[in-house]
Structure 1
């Protein structure tokens, strides 16, 4: 199949694109800059120049594809404090791609985050059949799923907060950076709250399987490890960096964690049993703590 991939120069795509190509698919990746285009070509994909705001361009690329994987999100807008603008751009892109695919039966795989449902108020073990009526990223998930009613074989892959490989750790990269700058690896309270994790290469397999096999209107969770206590994550970071792991009180959380304050206390255990059953997905790569412990770039004195 000819697959159009948005966010094609990002971390997730760096594994998704090779996974698709190795499975015999042709990939066309969205790139908004020369550097992004070079990164996409280096992965073996063709380039479609454009950006999320160019909805007509997205629609044209989707129409000429046999399927779409939507990985892009405007994190720059989010980082500038304009989450509403980033969410609106994401929804606009989804609607444009969805309308281009309407009635075709072609696959459209969207992206959401397990942590988004926790931020929106869900508690307990998150499973694939849990849905919420709305939220900043949940609206996008629901929009993709709704396309099943318009003749699109739509599905969503939910990602854990710690997607890790090759020195990148998702939100845990932020915790590593904070530990380096403050000299302590912190965790909130007793650190018993849990974050799920998955190696990026296993995530890529989940996207490919969803593209190839998913029935319309299904949700998947690319989760290899259901939930690692935050204290264990902090201990692993501290051990590798050579700094102490310490408990942080709620009163000191903003000072210690900055932009991650809203996330560090989330208890976000997530299952992938339905995903494994429906897609035959079997993650095989190293776990988060093993990856941190083996990362030479995190050793004391490493630049």
Structure 2
């Protein structure tokens, strides 16, 4: 897609900030939806134009008029949230954004989803895009992402091509989502490797997410889902250890049996069912995301979008070290 005007949701978030850098760098004009002064300041400093509004505001269609594409990156990614607000943000927010885009005559929409739409707490190995959704989602986040995908695909038409990207474990510089919590867990002594952490995982550097969005703006079919990864899976322990070391942290050696954590998440399920204010140290959603193998086959994105990772694990770790030490 040649230089054009794009409408972005979630622009002040981790993925959104990096998308603004990439898309503006590619010559696009980015209109970023914001709800606060702080968010407006963030996106404007990166080169985007702030547009006041809300995911659930039907009036945002007017702000999308004349845009060549919508990139929907906004989401509530809290793996411990089980409230109706997460469902409203992830499902109804997606519905409203895409309905508004279609009404505004925008021809293309890119939706950033998650592999969590497919996980249920059992290993997910080399999963392709047609992997069925689980009969029982591990939490509100996974359930809401699966339903948001269904909504997105149902709104795709020949005149409005909706393409869904599914990255897994987004990581890299400027990470304000998972990394702060990981570092806090390590520094407090609460972090432990689940069964040693040697099971495989796919991961997606944030620059590779941005590359996939760029590819999807130009190629690919509407009504399709595309897995996006860094390439070959790596052991979970290797991925996390390399990031911790890049931040100057000593890699923990503590281990915990997977069976113990399964018991813990069962307790958390009981606490939620009884509507008690207590919470176990790990939720079933967190277990599904980090305690078992989760690997994706990204061959469809390579074949149909022309996607190729632009950052390797080694290069991404070098970026983290540069960020940490200047």
Residue 30 (structure 1) aligned with residue 33 (structure 2): yes
CA apart distance, 1:277: 1.4
In 2, the alpha carbon distance for the partners of 1:241 and 1:289 equals 19
CA apart distance, 1:133: 7.5
Residue 126 (structure 1) aligned with residue 123 (structure 2): no
Partner of 1:248 in structure 2?
Answer: 256
CA apart distance, 1:223: 0.5
Partner of 1:152 in structure 2?
Answer: 160
Counterparts of residues 163-242 of structure 1 (less than 5 Å): 163-168=170-175, 171=178, 173-182=180-189, 185-236=191-242, 240-242=248-250
Query: Secondary structure of the residue that 2:293 maps to in structure 1?
Result: coil
Relative to structure 1, the CA distance from residue 256 to residue 267 in structure 2 (aligned partners, 3 Å threshold; closer, same or farther) is: farther
Quick check: 1:74–1:90 contact (8 Å CA) kept in 2?
yes
Quick check: 2:160–2:222 contact (8 Å CA) kept in 1?
yes
Partner of 1:92 in structure 2?
Answer: 92
Quick check: 2:16–2:73 contact (8 Å CA) kept in 1?
yes
Quick check: 2:113–2:166 contact (8 Å CA) kept in 1?
yes
Quick check: 2:171–2:206 contact (8 Å CA) kept in 1?
yes
Quick check: 2:14–2:176 contact (8 Å CA) kept in 1?
no
Partner of 1:70 in structure 2?
Answer: 72
CA apart distance, 1:120: 7.4
Residue 16 (structure 1) aligned with residue 19 (structure 2): yes
In 1, the alpha carbon distance for the partners of 2:237 and 2:121 equals 23
In 2, the alpha carbon distance for the partners of 1:113 and 1:79 equals 12
In 1, the alpha carbon distance for the partners of 2:116 and 2:320 equals 26
Give TM-score, length-normalised by structure 2.
Answer: 0.78
Query: Secondary structure of the residue that 1:124 maps to in structure 2?
Result: strand
Partner of 2:150 in structure 1?
Answer: 142
In 2, the alpha carbon distance for the partners of 1:155 and 1:142 equals 12
CA apart distance, 1:272: 1.4
In 2, the alpha carbon distance for the partners of 1:108 and 1:136 equals 19
In 1, the alpha carbon distance for the partners of 2:93 and 2:305 equals 26
CA offsets 1:107-141 (integer angstroms, 9 cap, x no match): 01112111331237673211233342883211111
Runs of at least 5 residues in structure 2 that lack an aligned partner in the other structure: 136-142, 265-278
Partner of 2:9 in structure 1?
Answer: 6
Query: Secondary structure of the residue that 2:111 maps to in structure 1?
Result: strand
Relative to structure 1, the CA distance from residue 242 to residue 190 in structure 2 (aligned partners, 3 Å threshold; closer, same or farther) is: closer
In 1, the alpha carbon distance for the partners of 2:24 and 2:316 equals 28
Runs of at least 5 residues in structure 1 that lack an aligned partner in the other structure: none
> Match for 2:62 among 50, 60, 63?
60
Query: Secondary structure of the residue that 2:309 maps to in structure 1?
Result: coil
Residue 39 (structure 1) aligned with residue 42 (structure 2): yes
Relative to structure 1, the CA distance from residue 37 to residue 191 in structure 2 (aligned partners, 3 Å threshold; closer, same or farther) is: same
Query: Secondary structure of the residue that 1:125 maps to in structure 2?
Result: strand
Relative to structure 1, the CA distance from residue 96 to residue 79 in structure 2 (aligned partners, 3 Å threshold; closer, same or farther) is: same
Relative to structure 1, the CA distance from residue 176 to residue 204 in structure 2 (aligned partners, 3 Å threshold; closer, same or farther) is: same
Query: Secondary structure of the residue that 2:133 maps to in structure 1?
Result: coil
Stretch deviating more after TM superposition (81-90 or 127-136): 127-136
Query: Secondary structure of the residue that 1:130 maps to in structure 2?
Result: coil
Cα root mean square deviation, aligned = 3.2
> Match for 2:53 among 50, 65, 71?
50
Quick check: 1:52–1:90 contact (8 Å CA) kept in 2?
no
Relative to structure 1, the CA distance from residue 121 to residue 48 in structure 2 (aligned partners, 3 Å threshold; closer, same or farther) is: farther
